[in-house]
Structure 1
Amino acid sequence: MINRRHFLATTAAMAGALSLPSILRAQSGDPIKLGSILDVSGIFDAYGKPMDMAATLAVEELNAAGGLLGRQIEKVSYDTQSDMALYTQFAQQLVRSDKVHVVHGGILSASREAIRPTLRKANVPYFYNVLYEGGVCDRNIVCTGITPAQQIEVLIPAAIEKFGKKVYVLAADYNYGQITAKWMSHYVGENGGEVLATEFFPLDVSDFGATIAKIQEAKPDLVLSALVGGAHLSFYRQWAASGMKDRIPLASSTLGSGNEHLVLTPQEGNGIMVAYSWSPSIDIPANKAFLDKWKTRFGDVATINEFAVNNYQGIHLWAEAVKKANTVDHDPVIEALESGIGIDGPSGKIAIDPQTHHAVLDMQLMEIRDQSLSVIKSFSQRQPIDTQKFCDLKANPDDNKQYEIDI
């Protein structure tokens, strides 16, 4: 059960400060406000709930260690119920009424773009902590999730080498799926393969019978999936039920990032190849400590997913920037982030690329096995080279767009 209460900071001044002017007592006692906007309910709650839990854990850890700048952190949370209109409404509320110092939030790219202009205009730093299609170039945003060049460049060569060169691509019909499908096609070609067909599906589609028949007729060596959300999980179930899973293998850029593999049976999920920055089996002290803290706070560590880890790390990256800047003011915090600041998180070392404000991080090539993410091979410190091709915030700090990268 998720605890959605805000962890309100104490506003009582220390006894030794009673002689100070009241305005100074207020400044030292006022909490630092961290805004959180997530789909804690609705069709994307499988991603949003663990992200909200991760934010709670990170804020509680920071407060237990004394907070930041001698002040406690208050988590101001809104549940968008997977409604894009509510993203816009709550972003405005966070900056106008709540007067937050930073915002962490958004899951779909559409949710990011719904709130990014508001936060930029209000000069409130924004952390987008999920995997996405890349290309956002905006000095006010920090993107801590993986991008296609970090993920697909690892996944596809391994899948083609193991399974074969004839590929059929399935993707969600919005900008993440459309752009990721282009990257899939690019890396298939770069590795000597051929894309036989690409199909796109709206997020509410759950009947894949006709598509499975098309794939059966095309006879690829491999199916690449960039399907997204609960409805699209039906594909994996229908694929296994049709008997095709044992004949044509799968690799995915999304399955398992939100713990979808836990709701599939081993018969439906076993053998699917994926690549993400985090796995519960990563054998490093920071990951072990994170798992222990999560278990103590929430119980079941199986609720943790890639998005939750990214959100947790994003908040700690912001905290490190605040410490370095010695203020929560916008410009010094952004400059601290651009210094190449990094942390040792559950996924390993993660740092911010000053040129793009995207993360440099480790990648894990994995296979789903008995509802677990089994690491096959690790790749150290992958750069966001896709976004680096077009975005240079050091040379163009006023840039403000999402580049659809020409592949």
Structure 2
Amino acid sequence: MTTFNRRKFLGTGAALSGAAMLPSFALAADAIKLGSILDTSGPFDAYGKPMDMAMRLAVSQINADGGLLGKQVEVVSYDTQSDMALYTQYGQQITRQDQVDVVHGGILSASREAIRQTMRRSQTLYFYNVLYEGGVCDRNIFINGVTPAQQVEALVPYAMGKSGKKVYILAADYNYGQYMANWIQKFVADNGGETVGVDFFPLDVADFGSTIAKIQTAAPDLVIAPLVGGNHLSFFRQWAAAGMKDRIPLASTTLGVGNEHKVLTPEEGNGIMVAYNYSQELDTPENNAFKEAWAAANDGDQSMHEIAVSNYHGILTWAEGVRKAGSLERDAIIEALETGISITGPGGVVTVDPKTHHAVLDVHVMEIQDQQMKVIETLPQRQPIDTQAVCDLEANPDDNTQYEIEI
């Protein structure tokens, strides 16, 4: 298990500032090349920029600790400008031309799938470090974000315990929202509840007036909202403006992942229940050191969030795999990771599940208060039970499927 202490965190701020400016052509001939493909501009940059910052912080800390295998790690990075077509282009370029040793990248599931097969064909080890809908089964990929069951299994019983048994679901109308709505219904039923309504919304919808009236008629005890993106943030504002926030409690599986809770006023956001692997308010030595290091490296910035920390965890996990393997050879690193390697980072202990290559994670049930995510309860080492139901890379190492998980 790898941990990073406060002194080491704080000693790398200056090094990070320099690393962030390194162009690809300045890479040393004997450097280990870490590839990064992210949306650091365009509509998804609120996710991508902090992910990029987290990646550079992790690399700087690894290098300050002597690098890996006696070599420094240097970054080859591409900004896709939130354009899916550029993921395909840069995925080919980073493997064929740059010939990186590992790739950490992708935000939306569509971006992951745009490059995953390229990584597999080129035998370039790939890490996808974002919460997603689950079901990817591919020995060449490791996934560090929370899956639906890990999150919803923790959130639903807590939220129902504070409100009641009748639940209404509002979800984004694409694969993530549809999968998540199914998982919410499962865990509502498992906890003795009833789903009284499910509505799906395209990502460009921003007017929820008629929906709020429909919910009032259904009279649920709780609304759970796996809504996605800036337009859907309007729901939480309109819900509060309609005087509903204090009448029917809200929970969400997405609010705060990109620090959206800091955009809402306390009057709009207070009391909304969430469950993630990370909160800035986690009071642990690892998180406190991480926040200090982040601020020191980024002029006091405090924009770290759930998927930025997942990206950070992913890079530390890869580095631990390299150390254990004593090699940069892909298969050696995979075999090392499949021993169930653990690291301890800002979100807690992260352990590789050998069967699925997903992460076993601590999940923190939280409530939003004054634009912060206050930790109520920590559920340690939650298994990715959704993907475990369909994926067994120990038995089927050549599998290459994203399964639609039957619930």
**Given the two structures, how large is their TM-score scaled by the length of structure 2?**
0.93
| AA of the residue aligned to 1:5 | M
Given that 2:366 and 2:376 are in contact with CA atoms closer than 8 Å, whether structure 1 keeps it comes out as yes
Residue 302 of structure 1 is matched in structure 2 by 302
Unpaired stretches in structure 2, ≥5 consecutive residues: 1-15
Relative CO higher for 1 or 2, CA cutoff 8 Å, sep ≥ 6? 2
Report which stretch shifted further, 397-406 or 279-288.
279-288
Residue 100 of structure 1 is matched in structure 2 by 100
| AA of the residue aligned to 1:95 | T
> Could you give the per-residue CA deviations for residues 229-261 of structure 1, whole angstroms, max 9, x where no partner exists?
112111111111121112111000010111100
Task: Give the distance between the partners of 1:113 and 1:102, measured in 2 at CA.
Answer: 17
CA deviation after TM superposition for structure 1 residue 301, in Å: 4.9
Task: Give the distance between the partners of 1:70 and 1:97, measured in 2 at CA.
Answer: 24
Given that 2:136 and 2:401 are in contact with CA atoms closer than 8 Å, whether structure 1 keeps it comes out as yes
Residue 381 of structure 1 is matched in structure 2 by 381
Match runs of 1:82-101 below 5 Å: 82-101=82-101
Given that 1:127 and 1:142 are in contact with CA atoms closer than 8 Å, whether structure 2 keeps it comes out as yes
Given that 2:294 and 2:302 are in contact with CA atoms closer than 8 Å, whether structure 1 keeps it comes out as no
Match runs of 1:2-401 below 5 Å: 5-6=21-22, 29-401=29-401
> Could you give the per-residue CA deviations for residues 127-147 of structure 1, whole angstroms, max 9, x where no partner exists?
111111111111011010111
Does the residue aligned with 1:127 lie in a helix, a strand or coil?
strand
CA deviation after TM superposition for structure 1 residue 10, in Å: 7.6
Task: Give the distance between the partners of 1:299 and 1:380, measured in 2 at CA.
Answer: 33
Task: Give the distance between the partners of 1:195 and 1:206, measured in 2 at CA.
Answer: 24
| AA of the residue aligned to 2:21 | R
Given that 1:8 and 1:73 are in contact with CA atoms closer than 8 Å, whether structure 2 keeps it comes out as no
Q: 1:10 to 1:82 in 2, by over 3 A?
A: closer
Task: Give the distance between the partners of 1:210 and 1:89, measured in 2 at CA.
Answer: 42
| AA of the residue aligned to 1:338 | E
Task: Give the distance between the partners of 2:74 and 2:198, measured in 1 at CA.
Answer: 46
Question: Percent of counterpart pairs with the same letter?
Answer: 65
> Could you give the per-residue CA deviations for residues 186-211 of structure 1, whole angstroms, max 9, x where no partner exists?
00111111111111112222222221
| AA of the residue aligned to 1:146 | V
Residue 7 of structure 2 is matched in structure 1 by none
Does the residue aligned with 2:225 lie in a helix, a strand or coil?
strand
Residue 23 of structure 1 is matched in structure 2 by none
CA deviation after TM superposition for structure 1 residue 332, in Å: 0.4
Does the residue aligned with 2:51 lie in a helix, a strand or coil?
helix
Report which stretch shifted further, 194-203 or 46-55.
194-203
Task: Give the distance between the partners of 1:385 and 1:114, measured in 2 at CA.
Answer: 25
Does the residue aligned with 2:367 lie in a helix, a strand or coil?
strand
Task: Give the distance between the partners of 1:260 and 1:181, measured in 2 at CA.
Answer: 20
> Could you give the per-residue CA deviations for residues 78-112 of structure 1, whole angstroms, max 9, x where no partner exists?
11121111111111111111111111111111111
Does the residue aligned with 1:401 lie in a helix, a strand or coil?
strand
Task: Say what the alpha-carbon RMSD is for the aligned residues.
Answer: 1.6
Does the residue aligned with 2:160 lie in a helix, a strand or coil?
helix
Aligned residue pairs: how many?
390
Given that 2:165 and 2:193 are in contact with CA atoms closer than 8 Å, whether structure 1 keeps it comes out as yes
Task: Give the distance between the partners of 2:210 and 2:224, measured in 1 at CA.
Answer: 17
| AA of the residue aligned to 1:127 | F
**Given the two structures, how large is their TM-score scaled by the length of structure 1?**
0.93
Task: Give the distance between the partners of 1:363 and 1:284, measured in 2 at CA.
Answer: 14
Does the residue aligned with 2:94 lie in a helix, a strand or coil?
helix
Task: Give the distance between the partners of 1:42 and 1:345, measured in 2 at CA.
Answer: 29
> Could you give the per-residue CA deviations for residues 259-311 of structure 1, whole angstroms, max 9, x where no partner exists?
10001100110000000111222222211211111111013353010111110
Does the residue aligned with 2:311 lie in a helix, a strand or coil?
helix
| AA of the residue aligned to 2:193 | G
Given that 2:168 and 2:215 are in contact with CA atoms closer than 8 Å, whether structure 1 keeps it comes out as yes
Task: Give the distance between the partners of 2:81 and 2:58, measured in 1 at CA.
Answer: 23
CA deviation after TM superposition for structure 1 residue 148, in Å: 1.2
Task: Give the distance between the partners of 1:171 and 1:239, measured in 2 at CA.
Answer: 15
Report which stretch shifted further, 242-251 or 308-317.
242-251
Moved over 4 A (4+): 7-12
Given that 2:24 and 2:77 are in contact with CA atoms closer than 8 Å, whether structure 1 keeps it comes out as no
CA deviation after TM superposition for structure 1 residue 66, in Å: 2.0
Task: Give the distance between the partners of 1:11 and 1:299, measured in 2 at CA.
Answer: 25
Task: Give the distance between the partners of 2:192 and 2:27, measured in 1 at CA.
Answer: 62
> Could you give the per-residue CA deviations for residues 342-371 of structure 1, whole angstroms, max 9, x where no partner exists?
111111111100000010111100000000
Task: Give the distance between the partners of 1:204 and 1:50, measured in 2 at CA.
Answer: 24
Does the residue aligned with 1:351 lie in a helix, a strand or coil?
strand
Task: Give the distance between the partners of 2:301 and 2:169, measured in 1 at CA.
Answer: 32
